[in-house]
Amino acid sequence: MFNLAIPEMLFGKVEIDGAPGYETVICAPDPGPVPTTGGLDLLVPHGLDAVAGADTVVLAGSGSYTDPDPRILTALRGAAADGSRIASICTGAFALAEAGLLDGRAATTYWAYRSLLAARHPTVDLQDDVLYVQDGAVLTSSGYAAGIDLCLHVIRTDYGAAVANTVARLALVAPVRPGGQTQFTQTPLPPERGASFAATRAWAMEHLDEPLGLTDLARHAGVSVRTLSRRFHAETGVSPLQWLLHQRVERAKELLETTALPMDGVARASGLGTGDSLRRHLLGRTGLTPSAYRSSFNRLPGAATALPAAGPAEPAATAGPFRAS
């Protein structure tokens, strides 16, 4: 149920000029009550005919991941043939692989089932220890909450960083994270599971334009630099400076999309310092120069925009065929 709730919740929070950014439809092979692993029945109103014509199809992970319903496989193949964007959360990748949609593609799944997926589908280019992967029009995420990151990535692709970060704030989740970030399989999380430095991360987000360093973060958190580095990595999967750099690049993207600031102004306001630094980091993360990024994703009124080929040009209707048991 958590897998299925993620896209419905996040896509449902997208509003563009006061109108819904997505129409989300939940469907299953057999409409009606569907049992879940949580012991509750879920009432699904639509059959798989809802997949036809959908811009985006999201397959939630289920308890029967190794034996997907043949009707789901048929629906997935049909959607792919029609040019729909296809995504999976957690073990939903097994059905995508069974449908032949991951052959020769980079993909991921929940780390505990990676070996099984590799054994059953050796033609899939499985990526180790990442949150999500996009290969063309097909996206896969690792376990559970990584589906949040995948959906925010989709929203950002369709509507830009400002909209995606607004949704993240409304849902009280982290801003858009890079897909290559670790699944945290090797670093045990502390009991608070990421809460002990939440106030420091929030403070840093409000001071990204300042020359923050490890000493500043440690002083705010009231700990030593060594303790900060160790516990910060345990909570986020990255070092404090890596986290700061990612947030600054994301802030720069948002400013490029939503303001007319010159490049040096964007660099200063995001904490990247200079236009050269902005160019270097943005190229490394997106493959685009700042001017090319602004040209592609500018959200200012009256500005021409061009979405990447991986994303639809119009708001996407999201269908979520799944089978839970």
pLDDT at 176: 62
**Residue written as token pair 């995504």:** 87
Kind and range of the H or E run holding 295: helix 290-297
d(CA 204, CA 224): 17
- In this prediction, residues 235-261 reach a mean pLDDT of 90
Burial class (CB in 10 A: 0-12, 13-18, 19+), 192: exposed
pLDDT at 293: 83
In terms of Cα–Cα distance, which of 192, 173, 185 is closest to 237? 185
pLDDT at 75: 96
Phi-psi region of 71 (alpha: psi -120 to 50; beta: other; left: phi over 0): alpha
Q: What are the Cα distances from residue 195, in Å, to 2, 106, 178, 184?
A: 21, 32, 20, 16
How many CB atoms are located within 10 Å of the residue 304 CB? 8
Confidence of residue 309 (pLDDT cuts 50, 70, 90): very low
pLDDT at 312: 33
- In this prediction, residues 290-313 reach a mean pLDDT of 57
pLDDT at 186: 34
The dihedral through the CA atoms of 297, 298, 300, 303 has a sign that is negative
User: Which value, to the nearest 10 degrees, does the dihedral of the CA atoms of residues 286, 194, 182, 22 take?
Assistant: -50
Is residue 107 a contact partner of residue 122, using CB atoms and an 8 Å limit?
A: no
d(CA 169, CA 80): 32
In the predicted structure, residue 313 carries a pLDDT above the cut 70: no
In terms of Cα–Cα distance, which of 308, 324, 319, 315 is closest to 80? 319
pLDDT at 35: 86
**What is the DSSP secondary structure assignment for residue 219, as one 8-state letter?**
H
Query: How many Cα neighbours within 13 Å face the side chain of 167?
Result: 31
In the predicted structure, residue 316 carries a pLDDT above the cut 70: no
In terms of Cα–Cα distance, which of 160, 116, 173, 200 is closest to 311? 160
Q: Which residues pair with 57 in a beta bridge?
A: 86, 319
d(CA 71, CA 5): 22
**What is the DSSP secondary structure assignment for residue 41, as one 8-state letter?**
E
In order, the DSSP letters of 8-28 are: HHHHHT-EETTEES--EE-B-
pLDDT at 318: 36
Q: What are the Cα distances from residue 258, in Å, to 95, 98, 168, 272, 296?
A: 38, 41, 17, 17, 12
In the predicted structure, residue 321 carries a pLDDT above the cut 70: no
Residue 310 identity: A
Q: 145: which residues sit within 8 A by CB, 6+ positions away?
A: 6
Mean pLDDT value across the chain: 83
* pLDDT, tens digit (0-9, with 9 covering 90-100), for 108-167: 998 889 999 999 999 999 987 788 999 999 999 988 788 998 999 999 889 988 888 889
* pLDDT, tens digit (0-9, with 9 covering 90-100), for 260-299: 999 999 999 999 999 999 999 998 887 788 998 887 777 6
- In this prediction, residues 21-47 reach a mean pLDDT of 90
**What is the DSSP secondary structure assignment for residue 106, as one 8-state letter?**
E
Q: Which residues pair with 86 in a beta bridge?
A: 57, 138
Q: Considering the entire predicted model, what is its pTM?
A: 0.63
* pLDDT, tens digit (0-9, with 9 covering 90-100), for 191-223: 334 458 889 999 999 999 999 999 999 999 999
pLDDT at 170: 84
